[in-house]
Amino acid sequence: MMVTIGPIENNENPCCARCPQCCCEQMGCEYTPEDVIAQYGEISLPVVIRMIRTGDVMIDCYTDDDDNDTYLLRVRTVDDHFAVDMAHIAARCVALTETGCKFPWDKRPSGAKIVIPNPDDPGYGCTNAVPEICGKHSFAEMWKPYQDILLQGVDLFSDYIYSEHLDDAKQNGYSEHREQ
């Protein structure tokens, strides 16, 4: 069964910025196909290229118990130097600032929106707005219909190193994800 998320009411809370167990310290949040379509009107290779060139987005890989790979899009972390991540190592999200997420709510990936913070005990007891979505495998499942496009992105960006391209990306206007 394919799970869709749909609109999620803004649940931002200042407690997230001071959370000692912040999810954002472990990995960047996952995008859903719905997120991409809402922002770009479609899911296509040119859209994936545009998103990666912002310097904020990468192609991630989920490998299931049978060693099958499924690709998905997520916000990259400070330690993700390549645009394609085949072996995730926990690291801080590039969108995390001292005051919380740098993305405005309407540009934030669903992986971030579904977390409902617990202001009484930041980092503990946070809940999920969409209980059917539980972990990276749930997001990977949503991306299965788009594997041909993401595989093209993997081929194009498998050797793409962000530090070699970020200045060029900023000069060419690939920063629409960033809060202006």
Q: How far apart are CA 111 and CA 18, in angstroms?
A: 19
3-state SS, 120-174, equals CCCCCCCEECCCCCCCHHHHHHHHHHHHHHHHHHHHHHCCCEHHHCHHHHHHCCC
pLDDT in tens, the chain (180 residues): 455 555 666 666 666 666 655 677 778 889 999 999 999 999 999 999 999 988 899 999 998 889 999 999 999 888 777 778 766 677 888 888 877 788 888 888 988 888 777 767 666 667 766 666 667 888 999 999 999 999 999 988 887 665 565 555 444 444 444 333
Q: Output the pLDDT for position 17.
A: 64
Q: Provide the pLDDT for residue 114.
A: 80
pTM summary value: 0.79
- The predicted structure's pLDDT at residue 106: 86
pLDDT at 93: 84
> How much is the pLDDT for 51?
94
pLDDT for the residue 24 = 75
Residue 159 to residue 25: CA distance in whole angstroms: 25
Report pLDDT for 177.
41
